[in-house]
Amino acid sequence: MRSYPLPFFLLLLTACSSNLTPFGPGNVVELDQDEQRLWQMSRGEMDELSASGLRYRNPAMQEYVESVLETLLGGNEGAYLPLEPRVVIVDVPVVNAACYPSGDIYLHTAILGRMRNEAQLAMILGHELTHATHRHTHRRQSKTYAASGAITYAAVLASIVSGKLGTGIQKVGGVIARAAIEGYGRDLEREADRVGLTLAAQAGYDPAAASQMFDRMRAAAEKPSNSRSALLFYASHPRMTERAENCRRLVRTLSPELRSHAKRVGEQRYVEVFHDLIFDEAEQHVAQGRFDLVADTAAFLRRTRPSDPRTGVLLGDLKRHEGDLVGAREAFEQALQRVPSNAAAHRGLGLVAAKQGDAATAIRHLRRYLALAGDASDRGYIESFVEQLTRVE
């Protein structure tokens, strides 16, 4: 048998897989051998991820994200076979989303807390779905093989399969491997943006509102202080600024007909479903000192959740950290007017009153906090603090 040089085979491999027919209406697609192997490995990893305990089980959220995915697919899931798109929420406090080659989309709780409306959710689902419909993992794996040889290709697959990384965050990063951590490379990410945005618009979502998703991601990712996000989120994607700009350009290229039809934003419904995650993110930003982001979220919640006592507590915390004790006190008092049994508001008001030298008010509210908060981790501290204030008083 004649021996051919290795680059010849690599060229063949690349040529075979760079123009793959996407899954979707009107297309009949058969998986080649490499892709079948890729799907098989992915299914193993999905099983491992399902067993890892990272799945976030909230029926209302699950039902909601599934309904948005169905809207995107136009009620025509069968047209995507053998792809079976579905969406899974995982409890990971780092902004990210990823998609397996066979159509399982993973949304981190952190990215759901970062978004603000259903149009943005549709955009990210459309983007991730495109990675599966347009077979990006397969295309990228083949490119990697062609460019770097079997060792790198094997290493990529081994890292996907092994999943032997320790922590929850690393586990998600490990199983989705390079695709989730690095993205699919600039060209494929742009394709996902374009197709995802078009899908969202065709489903009736306002593309301008949808494209703002990348602005929101950029706001959280661009600061060096946000080091945890930097571990995972789209590390080698085109820079968020560029992607946000690219999406704005894409919006302008959509037909006027489509743009006039696509007006749905879905802010109120989104906030009703995901307000807990939005508050979680804001609390995380308070801990990180990201007061610019906290202020942005607080303003958003004042508009969309004005009667939620947590909005008042968030505002109070923000003002307390900014040194505005009078403003903080007002915010906590307003939160208590709405819900007199809000433990966090009593705690906040008590600590602010103590700083203002108003020991009597501080003692009263901190005692109320102790009565309401049960086994709070700072119980010991607050008890001692109340004792100290009582002695001073």
Partner 1 sequence: MRPTLLAITCLLLTGCTAFRATDSTVAHRHTRLTVNIPPGWYVESLDPVAVLSRNGPPLQRITISATPLGRPLAGTQRTYNDGMLPNEVADLALGLVEATPGHANFARLRLEFDQLAGADAFAAEATFVDASGLPKRLRLHGATLLGHIIQVAYEAADAVYYEMDLAAFENLLESARITTN
Chain residues that interact with partner 1, rule: CB under 8 A: 165-170, 225, 227-228, 230-231, 287-292, 321, 351, 354-355, 377-381, 384-385, 388
Give least dist CB 65 to partner 1, A. Answer: 24
10, 151 Cβ separation under 8 angstroms: no
Q: How far is the CB of 290 from partner 1 (least distance, A)?
A: 7
The owner of tokens 């009620």 is 75
Is the Cβ of residue 28 or residue 287 nearer to partner 1 in the bound state?
Answer: 287
Q: Within a 10 A sphere around the Cβ of 378, how many other Cβ atoms?
A: 12
Between residues 218 and 355, which has the closer beta carbon with respect to partner 1?
355
Q: Least distance in Å: CB of 47 to partner 1?
A: 21
Shorter beta-carbon distance to partner 1: residue 152 or 388: 388
Smallest distance from partner 1 to CB 160, Å = 18
Closer to partner 1 by CB, 341 or 388: give it.
388
Nearer to partner 1, 300 or 385 (CB): 385
Least separation in angstroms between residue 52's CB and partner 1 is 13
Tell me the closest approach of the beta carbon of residue 315 to partner 1, in angstroms: 17
The residue (of 313 and 354) whose beta carbon lies closer to partner 1 is 354
